[in-house]
Amino acid sequence: MTSMSTGRLVLLAAAMLPMVASLAVAGEAPAACAIEKLGWMAGSWELTTEKSRTEENWTKVDGGSLLGMSRTVAGGKTVFFEYLRVEARPDGVYYVAHPKARPGTDFKLVRCEGEEAVFENPKHDFPQRIIYRKMADGSLHARVEGPREGKIVGQDYSYKPMKKD
């Protein structure tokens, strides 16, 4: 190899280094988000409207999981409930939803930045994406998204910390 071609090779390698490094970092993002980084979800949360009240409760992270439960009460009756868990597995972190105690649906953690977590399951009908975000005012925002009638739609839930009785 001549010194001229060696120089070009070094320049090419130097030019490609940032691109290769960014791919490596992007590929590590979900794995780098250990379940312990999701501790900000823990707590008792409530969303009250004119017609209903929804509670969502999450345990603290322990044993590689967070456990959750959600209940919606309207007209003095439980109209919806869901068992939830976030768990660490060898291939990543998963959010598992059991609406009305049905078999669970897995959503894999695909992004975790600060106090925001995005879980996805593109094979599920609705939702295909679940997003949790802790807001600056201490509230917990949840969003579910997916296709409905050929369009991507979303539902938002803004929970406040539950008041102690």
> What mean pLDDT do residues 5-20 have?
40
Residue 135, domain extent: 35-161
Residues 64 and 133 in one domain: yes
Residues 89 and 154 in one domain: yes
Q: 86-99 in b/e burial notation, b at 16+ Cβ within 10 A?
A: bbbeeebbbbbbee
Q: Looking at the DSSP assignment, which residues form a beta bridge with residue 106?
A: 96
Residue 110 CA to residue 118 CA, distance in Å, equals 6
Residues 59 and 121 in one domain: yes
Residues 73 and 149 in one domain: yes
Q: What is the pLDDT of residues 82-134, one digit of tens each?
A: 999 999 999 999 999 999 999 999 999 999 999 999 999 999 999 999 999 99
Q: Is the pLDDT of residue 154 over 50?
A: yes
Whole-structure pTM value: 0.80
Q: Which pLDDT band, with edges at 50, 70 and 90, does 69 fall under?
A: very high
Closest CA to 52 of 19, 78, 31: 78
Residues 41 and 27 in one domain: no
Residues 24 and 43 in one domain: no
Specify whether the CB–CB gap between 69 and 84 falls below 8 A: yes
Residues 27 and 40 in one domain: no
Residues 127 and 78 in one domain: yes
Closest CA to 38 of 105, 106, 119: 119
The mean of the pLDDT values for the chain is 86
CA 53 to chain CA centroid, nearest Å: 23
* pLDDT at residue 32 in the model: 65
